[in-house]
Amino acid sequence: MIQTPIIPMTLSAVIPTAGFSTRMHQFKPLLKFGNLTMLEVVIRLVQDCGIQDILVVTGYKHALVEPIIQKTCARPVFNQTFETGMLGSIQKGIAQINPESRGFFLLPMDIPAIRPNTILTLISAFEKARQSIIIPRFNQKSGHPPLIPARLIPDIINIEPDSNLGKFLLSQKNSLIYQPVHDRSTLLDADTKEAYLTLVNKYRNLDIPDKKECWSIINSILPGETAIQSHLALVAKIAAKLARAVEKGLTSKKQQTQSCRLNHDLIQAAALLHDIRRKEKKHAKAAADFLAAQGFIRVAKIVAQHMTMEPGDKLTEKEIVYFADKICNGTKLEPDYTKRFTDKIKQAPGAKPRIIQRYEDTQRICALIEAAAGQSIQTILQ
């Protein structure tokens, strides 16, 4: 697991927030993200990663945002010429960076749904190459926030007004390091109302990787492993079908309550990622440990039990993923799971008690699914 840096003030963060929010038609820094404003979410993100020297560059409606900035213990920097564009705000902010800082993140305020582990991954990469520019990259696309060494501050301050920081950074070819991350939010900003609503939903489920993020993880850990990848895709497809049938059945019986609703995103992520460490010993634990280190705690808990379960009499996301995995034999769907368990006992007679326990768990979950859906597994899977 990547550790939060122990030494404070070695890195800084500059958060430009001076613009007019023209395309949004609302003042973005004050838009709500749960109980916080968007600006507070971004400041808290870098604070939670051990960064204390945080400069928020203000401009338009600065009197409204400066009290918020001061409350968070970040430092407001007012850019009187904010109308000229973001470059001037960046230059104003980096001029105030703590002189002891070795580098700084540049994180625009309207990119609020980045995961803490992404920031820590970039810091870890910077620790190994302290004079380099670290740029996060998701699925071969560069995003935010770049981590820029302090040595470049004088050069950035001297960039001509008709240029931009992106062009300058790309000109530093020998200093660029593109760091792969499994975080699609590095590419997402809140420029429009629709984009804002997407990010609000993303922020609510920050500990669940979406489908593209899951496949980023899969392709990183299991490159070229088409058989395992096909199995993961099949389990996710079957788990989704089972979950829909259960919810449809409960709704028709007017039994669905808040406590028994299933999180389809959680099911999808756990199903896609349950075997990412398949080639290792104790692969369930290895996969769960990896996912927990990424910040995907709920997913990790399900993955940890996809081989051996803790008994329970309720249908949750955990049971759906477990059962889907047991009726997907490799890349084949086998609803008649009895034969599969019988064959396993023949192959490994020494593991018979453990296999029988898994068989009984599978039977129990099968009964729960059929009761909730009001139809047989075979009918659900038609």
Q: Which domains does the chain have, with CATH numbers?
A: 11-204 (3.90.550.10), 211-380 (1.10.3210)
Orientation of helix 38-48 relative to helix 62-71, angle to 10°: 30
Pair of tokens at residue 272: 């896609």
Confidence at residue 7, expressed as pLDDT on a 0 to 100 scale: 46
Token pair 């993880």 is at which residue?
A: 217
8 Å CB contact between 143 and 137 = yes
User: Is residue 72 over pLDDT 80?
Assistant: yes
- Residues 102-137: pLDDT tens digits? 999 999 999 999 999 999 999 999 999 999 999 999
Range 236-265 average pLDDT: 82
What pLDDT sits at residue 19? 77
- Which pLDDT band, with edges at 50, 70 and 90, does 168 fall under? very high
Per-residue confidence at 309, pLDDT binned at 50, 70, 90? confident
Asked which of 43-47, 81-85, 375-379 is least confident by mean pLDDT, the reply is 81-85
Return the pLDDT at 6.
Answer: 44
Specify the pLDDT at position 201: 92
Q: Say what percent of the chain tops pLDDT 90.
A: 83
**pLDDT computed for residue 253 by the predictor:** 65
First to last CA, the chain: 42
pLDDT for residue 65 is more than 70: yes
Q: Which residues contact 302 (CB under 8 A, 6 or more apart)?
A: 266, 270, 274, 317, 318, 321
This prediction has a pTM of 0.91
Asked whether the predicted pLDDT for residue 92 surpasses 70, the reply is yes
Could you tell me the pLDDT band of residue 256, with boundaries at 50, 70 and 90?
A: low
Give the pLDDT of residue 260. Answer: 60
On average, the pLDDT of the chain sits at 92
- Which residue matches tokens 């999808």? 268
Could you give the percent of the chain with pLDDT greater than 70?
A: 95
Whether pLDDT at 366 is above 70 = yes
Cα separation, 112 vs 96, in Å, equals 23
Q: What is the model's pLDDT at position 59?
A: 92
pLDDT at 257 over 80: no
Can you tell me the distance from the alpha carbon of 153 to that of 132, in angstroms, rounded to the nearest whole number? 13
Look at residue 2 and tell me whether its pLDDT is greater than 60. Answer: no
Q: Residue 98, Cβ neighbours under 10 Å: how many?
A: 16
Q: What is the mean pLDDT of residues 226-252?
A: 94
What confidence category does residue 244 fall into, taking pLDDT thresholds of 50, 70 and 90? very high
Stretch (H or E) spanning 329: strand 328-329
d(CA 225, CA 278): 10
In this model, does residue 258 exceed pLDDT 90?
no
State yes or no: pLDDT of 5 exceeds 60: no
pLDDT, tens digit, 9 for 90 and up, residues 13-62:
999 998 777 777 789 999 999 899 999 999 999 999 999 999 999 999 99
Residue 145 pLDDT > 50, yes or no?
yes
Q: Write down the pLDDT at residue 316.
A: 94
Give me the mean pLDDT over the 242-257 stretch: 79
Residue 255 binned pLDDT confidence (cut-offs 50, 70, 90): low
- Rounded to whole angstroms, how far apart are CA atoms 199 and 216? 19
More confident residue, 349 or 254: 349
Strands in 28-162 per DSSP E: 32-33, 36-37, 53-58, 75-78, 103-106, 133-138, 141-142, 147-149
Q: What is the pLDDT of residue 378?
A: 94
pLDDT score at 240? 97
